[in-house]
C-alpha cells in the first residue's frame, strides 16, 4: 500500500513538473498563412501555441516597406491586415515579435511575403496555343504543352494550380489540372521563388463536348460538362483534397462557386438561386428576375449582377447580405465586364453600344452609383470571352483588349490604374489574360 502511494505521489509530482515546464515554455508561431479574403490589399492569418498580447505584437513587430497595417482578433488566432487604398510595390519583409499573456516572449522571426498575383496568358505559338506565366522579371514561363486550342482556363482560387480545357480543333476537349508550387511566404533565410509547374493530370475520363469551370478561394473546382449534345451533362465538384462530389442542381447557365466556399450560385428560369454544397446544411435562396452574375467582390457576400429589363436596357446591381440589390448604373449599352474593390466601395464596368458603332467605355463608380471617372477605350475592343479582374495589391485592373483596326497581331493584356483609368498594355500578343492568385 505504501509503495502504491509512493508511485502515485511520484506521478502527481511528475505531472506538476511537466505542467510547470509547459507554463514556462515560450509561445510559438504554429501557423502563418496568406489570405485574400479581406477588406484590404492583403492579410496574414496567424495561429500561436498560446494566446498573445495583441498590443505587444503591434509595438514589437515591423513591416518593410512601411505600409499601414493593424491587428485583428483577440489572443489567438489573429489577423494582420494591410489597410485599404495602399499599393504593394514589391516583396514585403515582416519582423514578428511580441509576448503572450503570461509575459513570455515569442522568438523574433523574419518572413518574406509577396501577396501580388501573377499574370497568366493564353498565347498563340507555332502549332496552336499554350498557357504561359509572367515571371517577376517580366520574362515568360511556358506551363503547358502546345495544344491546337485552349478553350478554357481557370486558375484555382487558392493559387495551388490551374484547370485547363484543351481542344483538338475538331470539337473534342480534354480537361486537365496543372498543380503549381508557389513560395510567396517564407521564413528567412529562405527566399521567394517563382511558381513551379507539377505533373499535368487529366480530370475527365472521356472526351468532352464542352465544360464550364469555376473555383473558390479554398481551391475547389466546379465542372459543368457534357460528352454529347444530346445528354444533359454532369456537374461535379472536385475538392482541394481530391474528392469528387456530384451535384444534382438543374441550371439554365453557368454555375459559380461562392469565393469563400460552402455555396454555389445557380441560374434558373425563375432567377438566380443560391444553393449550399454537399456537406453543408441544406439551403436555397432565390433572387427573382432576369439577372446574371457578373463578378464577386473581395469581401464575403458581395457581388455585382447584370439585370436585363423588358425594354432591352441593362443595369448593374450591387448585392449585399440581407439587403435588396442596389442599382448602380442603368442604360441601353451592353455590360461587357465588371469588377469591384472590397465590399463594393469602388466599382468598374465596361460598356459598349454596338448598334451605334461606339467605342467601349470604362466607368468607375462609388457604392452609391456616382460616377468617379470615365475613359473611352479609343482604338480598343474587348476580347470576346474575357473578363475584367481587380488586383487589390497594386490597385489595378486587368483587361484583355484588341486593337480596333484588324491586323495580324493578337490581343494584349492591359493593366489599368484603378484611380486614373490610365492604360498600360503589356508588350506581348495574347488571346486571354488572367490573374493567378498568390498561394
pLDDT band at 23 (very low <50, low <70, confident <90, very high): low
- Note the pLDDT tens digit of each residue in 188-220: 999 999 999 999 999 988 999 999 999 999 999
> Chain-centre distance of CA 403, in angstroms?
28
113, 184 Cβ separation under 8 angstroms: yes
Decide: helix, strand or coil at residue 19. helix
135, 98 Cβ separation under 8 angstroms: no
Q: Which residues contact 206 (CB under 8 A, 6 or more apart)?
A: 227
- DSSP state at residue 12: H
Cell 441550371 -> residue: 251
Domain boundaries, the chain: 26-113
Q: What pLDDT sits at residue 229?
A: 79
Q: Residues 361-375: what's their mean pLDDT?
A: 97
Q: What pLDDT sits at residue 16?
A: 43
Q: Residues 129-140: what's their mean pLDDT?
A: 97
pLDDT band at 406 (very low <50, low <70, confident <90, very high): low
Strand arrangement of the beta sheet that strand 284-288 belongs to: 256-257, 263-268, 271-276, 284-288
Say whether pLDDT at 424 is over 80.
yes
CATH of domain 26-113: 2.60.40.1220
Q: What pLDDT sits at residue 278?
A: 85
Q: What pLDDT sits at residue 75?
A: 86
Q: Residues 415-433: what's their mean pLDDT?
A: 97
- Note the pLDDT tens digit of each residue in 53-108: 999 999 999 999 999 999 999 989 999 999 998 999 999 999 999 999 999 999 99
Q: What pLDDT sits at residue 250?
A: 86
Say whether pLDDT at 351 is over 70.
yes
Peptide bond just before 65 cis, omega within 30 deg: yes
Say whether pLDDT at 21 is over 50.
no
Q: Which residues contact 28 (CB under 8 A, 6 or more apart)?
A: 48, 49, 106, 107
Closest by alpha carbon to 39, among 341, 263, 424? 341
> Chain-centre distance of CA 438, in angstroms?
9
18-24-30 Cα angle (round to 5): 95
Give the bridge partners for 284, in sequence order: 275
Strand 185-187 relative to strand 128-134, pairing: unpaired
Strand 411-417 relative to strand 432-436, pairing: unpaired
Cα–Cα distances in Å, from 69 out to 62, 111, 389? 10, 16, 24
What's this model's pTM, rounded to 2 decimal places? Answer: 0.91
Amino acid at each position: 500500500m505504501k509503495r502504491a502511494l509512493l508511485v502515485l505521489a511520484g506521478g502527481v509530482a511528475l505531472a506538476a513538473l511537466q505542467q510547470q515546464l509547459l507554463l514556462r515554455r515560450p509561445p510559438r508561431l504554429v501557423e502563418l498563412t496568406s489570405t485574400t479574403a479581406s477588406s484590404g490589399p492583403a492579410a496574414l492569418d496567424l495561429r500561436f501555441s498560446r494566446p498573445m498580447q495583441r498590443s505587444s505584437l503591434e509595438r514589437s513587430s515591423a513591416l518593410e516597406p512601411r505600409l499601414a497595417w493593424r491587428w485583428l482578433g483577440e489572443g489567438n488566432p489573429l489577423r494582420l491586415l494591410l489597410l485599404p487604398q495602399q499599393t504593394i510595390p514589391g516583396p514585403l519583409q515582416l519582423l514578428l515579435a511580441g509576448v503572450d499573456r503570461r509575459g513570455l516572449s515569442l522568438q523574433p522571426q523574419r518572413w518574406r511575403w509577396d501577396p501580388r498575383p501573377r499574370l497568366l496568358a493564353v498565347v498563340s505559338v507555332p502549332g496552336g496555343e499554350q498557357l504561359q506565366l509572367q515571371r517577376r522579371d517580366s520574362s515568360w514561363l511556358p506551363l503547358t504543352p502546345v495544344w491546337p486550342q485552349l478553350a478554357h482556363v481557370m486558375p484555382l482560387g487558392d493559387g495551388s494550380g490551374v484547370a485547363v480545357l484543351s481542344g483538338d480543333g475538331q470539337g473534342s476537349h480534354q480537361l486537365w489540372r496543372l498543380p503549381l508550387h508557389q513560395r510567396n511566404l517564407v521564413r528567412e533565410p529562405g527566399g521567394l521563388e517563382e511558381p513551379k509547374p507539377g505533373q499535368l493530370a487529366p480530370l475527365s475520363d472521356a472526351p468532352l463536348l464542352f465544360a464550364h469551370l469555376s473555383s473558390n478561394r479554398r481551391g475547389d473546382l466546379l465542372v459543368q460538362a457534357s460528352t454529347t449534345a444530346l445528354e444533359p451533362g454532369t456537374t461535379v465538384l472536385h475538392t482541394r483534397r481530391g474528392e469528387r462530389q456530384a451535384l444534382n442542381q438543374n441550371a439554365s447557365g453557368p454555375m459559380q462557386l461562392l469565393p469563400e466556399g460552402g455555396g454555389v450560385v445557380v441560374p434558373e428560369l425563375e432567377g438566380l438561386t443560391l444553393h449550399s454544397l454537399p456537406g453543408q446544411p441544406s439551403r436555397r435562396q432565390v433572387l427573382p428576375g432576369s439577372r446574371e452574375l457578373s463578378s464577386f467582390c473581395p469581401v464575403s457576400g458581395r457581388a455585382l449582377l447584370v439585370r436585363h429589363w423588358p425594354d432591352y436596357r441593362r443595369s448593374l446591381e450591387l448585392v449585399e447580405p440581407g439587403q435588396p440589390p442596389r442599382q448602380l448604373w442603368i442604360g441601353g449599352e451592353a455590360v461587357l465586364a465588371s469588377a469591384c474593390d472590397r465590399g463594393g466601395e469602388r466599382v468598374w464596368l465596361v460598356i459598349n453600344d454596338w448598334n451605334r458603332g461606339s467605342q467601349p467605355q470604362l466607368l468607375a463608380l462609388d457604392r452609391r452609383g456616382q460616377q468617379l471617372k470615365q475613359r473611352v477605350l479609343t482604338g480598343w475592343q474587348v476580347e470576346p470571352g474575357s473578363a475584367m479582374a481587380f488586383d487589390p495589391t497594386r490597385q489595378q485592373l486587368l483587361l484583355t483588349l484588341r486593337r480596333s483596326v484588324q491586323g495580324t497581331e493578337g490581343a494584349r493584356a492591359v493593366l489599368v490604374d484603378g484611380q486614373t483609368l490610365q492604360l498600360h498594355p503589356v508588350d506581348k500578343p495574347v488571346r486571354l489574360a488572367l490573374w493567378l492568385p498568390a498561394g
